[in-house]
Structure 1
Amino acid sequence: MINIHLYPSAFLNESRILREAGSLSQLALFDRIDLVGVGEEGLAPVEKLQDGICIVRPGQRKGSGLVGKLARTASWSRAVYHLYRKEELGCVNCHSVATLPLGVMLKRKTKAKLVYDAHELETETNNLSGMRKLLTRQVERRLIGHADHCIFVGSAIEQWYVREYGLHNTTVLYNCPSRRQVKPSDHFRTVFSIEPGTPIFLYQGYIGEGRGIRILVEAFSALAGRAALVVMGYGPLADWVAKEAQHLPGIHYHPAVAPERLLDYTAAADFGLSVIEPTSLSYEYCMPNKLFEYVMAGKPVLVSPTREQSEFVRRHAIGEVASGISPAAIREGVLSLLGRDPHALQAALTRTAGEFCWEGQEKTLEALYLDTLGLRSFQGTAKQPWEAKHDLCH
């Protein structure tokens, strides 16, 4: 029996899906797990990651604009449907609303279970507008009821979906890193020649609009000598940050690093930053991965007052919530955080890291799959995986 995960990307850095696939592989509920994405020039159409897990990339990214994207999605969906319609599928995972029509078709054809694993509030994202937003809303409203279970990245987003669609089978699965001890590092201080007494605040992740990047640069440029800002990652504003760093004291740009090395670099900062601008409902309700990464690395955080992350920080006493998202509010938050008791912050971070790690989320994932597949009392060898008819990985 096969489990497929549908997501229209090349699967170069999809940490959440890779974590889920790894955990499901350990449970031995399926013979094979395929991460089905989109082909790109230079990438293998089939890539084996480990025993039982591989990436399958049919087709390539082509077309732009609404019509081009619709045509591209339709072409990719047809290719994937024909690839799997005769396979023995046990569960189809849709990781975006764009894959939901394909998931429903495969469920009807193969009698597989269907899991909708939304990575954000899919119909209220920052880049959706006009006809595309209308079509996305219609697709989700009409098809979400076909899902046997829905997974969401945070409680606020889950509550929205429950209210909007009257869902019952839902689970929150936070995108937490695995539990580990992170060793201290002086990497940023050495690379950027930051004075030993100057605290380092780190923003890591996607460097684009809506992530407070311009606000952070302006805020920390007025804190030169009192605090340093390191912006690490990739995105459309990365070059802008790099140019600003050339003439603004206290501002530094660091390229993105491999996901498996991320926490080692996070350890080189003193504090973490997660400033989300509420430019969409999805951003207002978000629960960023970076927040859990800072916690695992033992870094107190400064966050913007968006709904769930601010409530999380206050409840666990792991940092400071800015009064707003202006440069002045960020500066005020920085100074307030610097005045907090470091021992109390570290004790709170240790407790929170123990609770919010992937090992804990893995138990939640196991329970929902056993329930969805009808294997509520799964015990070791009492339930054996089914034999797959074909193996694309060989």
Structure 2
Amino acid sequence: MHIVLVSSGQPSANPRLVKEAVTYSEAGYAVTVVYCPLSPWADAYDRALFKKYASIKWVRAGYHSTEQKALYVFARLRQKFYQYLFRAGIHNAFTAVRSMSLFTQELISAAKRIKGDVYAGHNLSALPAVVDAAHMHRVPAIFDFEDFHRGEDQEGSLHWIKTKIVEDQYSSLLHHATTASPLITAAYAQLYPSVKFTTINNCFSIRYLQSALRLHDTTRLKLFWFSQFVGKKRGLETIIEAIGKTGQKNISLTLLGNCSEDIKAYFVSFANEKGLAEDQLLFMPAVAEESIPSIAAAHDLGLACEIPHVVNREICLTNKIFLYLLAGNAILFSNTEAQTLFYKSYPETGTIYPHDNAEELAVILQRYAQDRQLLNRQRATALLLGKTFFNWEAEQQQLLKLVSDL
């Protein structure tokens, strides 16, 4: 069986896509990944990835911003034209699809040129390509709704309207769909009852499991957060404010990810305003995914500090949680619906807090700083849960069964 995976982004910018591709390849399937070059920062990581997984065929659709400047500029102007039409009130599938991504047309063409036995998509902009290619070759189409896409903005916004048009046009034509949280599954199943949805948690490989719980300096409490990009309104302001409210200088926060000088200056200024010393807020540049668990393991608490400012943030289950488990971090969960549901099922992995209440969070941080027994017990529970249940080797079995049943 030949499985064709289609994404409107780069592989290294989508760990879930890579995990799925590697899973299928290691299970003996022929795998092709069609992707678009949207993230120049990921180029070096992609080259290493392609070399590591040479048995997977990697096909680029679209134009690189530096290697093919003229064609890239053309694609940008083309997208802006369709975005103008959409803003002008021409709301249909044609304008919605073409204004959503730089390389929609190239992605559809590339997917259609490759004969597959099943097409599987990642990122909403790839949904039309997956459905169109599967229809052309008369084979099943699968799509991974990692997020609740229409819930990424306020209802009635242009983004919401565009997303709804694309989802309504193509989702009911899928043979099967996956999501990254039980509440996203419930939301999409209600919208498209004819489609079967399966929750595939955003776990990481058990190869990332730390062999033993690291014993840390008991005089310091070290917090950790990571993402591809460090930015505002990710819940970090509440964390920093809470650290300041404790009045303790032995609590530090490390932020790992691509960070512009403006954003760094913003957080340094904010931390200074809240009373943090210079060594209490640390920045680390983005690293390869496989390097993150060992870095996280050098810290005590992992932060899952989502802010539910839109529906998607309320019901998504961030992949950070599953990496923290493998790293042996106790977890601070903000009280989104999805994270509350997870925390209630596994309360010994950390503590939940109101996402907008720095004072209550400060009390929690002080308790951890004073009670190492509690902290290490939760860290050990997290590590055990990652080892026995929440790892990709366990989670991927659902994905393999899904494909084998097609």
Structure 1: gaps of 5 or more residues: 190-194, 373-394
TM superposition score normalised by structure 1: 0.82
Which of the residues 238, 253, 256 maps onto 2:283? 253
The code of the aligned residue for 1:19 comes to K
**Alpha-carbon distance between aligned partners in 2 of 1:81 and 1:319, rounded to the nearest angstrom:** 44
Q: Which has the higher helix share?
A: 2
- 1:306-317, aligned counterparts within 5 Å? 306-316=336-346, 317=348
Unaligned regions of 5+ residues in structure 2, if any? 64-71, 85-95
Partner of 2:17: 17
Deviation at 1:41, TM superposition (A): 6.7
Within the candidate set 329, 333, 339, 2:360 is matched to 329
Q: Deviations over 1:258-291 (max 9, x none)?
A: 2110001001101111111110110001111111
1:182 maps to 210
Kept in 2: contact 1:245–1:253 (CA 8 A): no
Asked if the contact 1:212–1:276 (Cα under 8 Å) also holds between the matched residues in 2, the reply is yes
Kept in 1: contact 2:213–2:379 (CA 8 A): no
Per the alignment, residue 233 of structure 1 pairs with 257
Aligned residue number for residue 385 of structure 1: none
Q: Secondary structure at the match of 1:273?
A: strand
How many matched pairs? Answer: 364
Aligned to 2:378: 345
Asked if the contact 1:117/1:152 (under 8 Å) is kept, the reply is yes
Counterpart in the other structure of 1:388: none
Q: Which deviates more, 66-75 or 302-311?
A: 66-75
Counterpart-to-counterpart distance in 2, 1:57 and 1:266 = 33
Shift of 1:132: 2.6
**Residues 96 and 117 of structure 1 are in contact (CA less than 8 Å); yes or no, is this contact kept in structure 2?**
yes
Cα RMSD for the two superposed structures: 3.0
Deviations 1:24-78 (A, max 9, x none): 001123x23223223667959x964423313322223625767179646577233
Off by >6 Å, runs of 4+ in structure 1:
none
What SS does the aligned partner of 2:303 have? strand
Per chain length, whose mean CA-contact separation is higher, i.e. which structure has more relative contact order (CA < 8 Å, sep 6+)?
1
What are the residue-to-residue correspondences of 1:257-296 with 2, within 5 Å?
A: 257-296=287-326
Which residue matches 2:60? Answer: 57
Cα deviations by residue, 1:183-230 (Å, 9 ceiling, x for unpaired) = 6799xx9xxxxx760110112224223320222222212333242222
Rounded Cα–Cα distance in structure 2 between residues aligned with 1:185 and 1:234: 28
- Relative distance call for 1:88 and 1:269 in structure 2 (3 A) is same
The C-alpha deviation readout for 1:338-366, integer Å capped at 9, x for no partner, is 44624532442233112100110111111
Which residue of structure 2 lines up, in the alignment, with residue 6 of structure 1?
A: 6
Which deviates more, 342-351 or 315-324?
342-351
Q: How does 1:105-254 map to 2 (within 5 A)?
A: 105-126=132-153, 130-180=157-207, 181-182=209-210, 197-205=219-227, 206-223=229-246, 224-235=248-259, 237-242=263-268, 244=270, 248-249=276-277, 250-254=280-284
Structure 2 CA distance for aligned equivalents of residues 74 and 229 of structure 1: 35
Deviation at residue 97 of structure 1 after TM alignment: 2.2
Query: Does the C-alpha gap of structure 1 residues 245 and 327 become closer, same or farther in structure 2, counting only changes over 3 Å?
Result: closer
CA distance in 2, matches of 1:318, 1:208: 26
Q: Who is 2:90 aligned against? A: none
Letter aligned with residue 266 of structure 2: W
Q: For the structure 1 residues 273 and 167, does the alpha-carbon distance in structure 2 shift closer, same or farther, using more than 3 Å as the test?
A: farther
Larger mean CA deviation between 89-98 and 328-337 belongs to 328-337
